[in-house]
Amino acid sequence: MQNLYPLQIKKTNDGKLTVKWSDERVDEITLTKLRDECPCADCKGESVIFNNYIPIKSPFKAAGFYEISKIESVGNYAIQIHWKDGHNSGIYSWDILRQIGENKK
Ligand SMILES: [Zn+2]
């Protein structure tokens, strides 16, 4: 997995993120899935020693919840996605992005 990295990441006009990988694979990830799989501690919960903190998922979705305002690269290993509802703490490493693309998450 370590040798896999995206050659191109592109937001499409129909609500998807296209990721072209170094092994020629192309993933189309819907923004809905991408947001639902946000890897940050608020969305995914955080392991606290001996306790598992599980976030309560609100059925209420703010405006812009599934819309991307900006994508930034983080080093050479991840992207940070800024969502239009203001959420931006999710860092999607290549590993996570690939797992989402392969539906392993
Ligand atoms: Zn999050």
pLDDT tens for 63-95 read: 899 999 999 999 999 999 999 999 999 999 999
Percentage of residues in the chain having pLDDT higher than 90: 72
Distance 43 CA to ligand 1 centre (A): 4
Distance 89 CA to ligand 1 centre (A): 6
Distance 91 CA to ligand 1 centre (A): 8
Domain of 73, CATH number, reads 3.30.2020.30
Distance 90 CA to ligand 1 centre (A): 5
pTM equals 0.83
Tally the domains of the chain: 1
Percentage of residues in the chain having pLDDT higher than 70: 83
Residue 21 lies in a domain: yes
Distance 35 CA to ligand 1 centre (A): 7
Distance 16 CA to ligand 1 centre (A): 18
In the chain, which ranges are E strands? 6-11, 16-21, 26-30, 46-48, 51-53, 68-74, 78-83, 91-93
Residue 10 lies in a domain: yes
Beta carbons within 10 angstroms of residue 35's beta carbon? 19
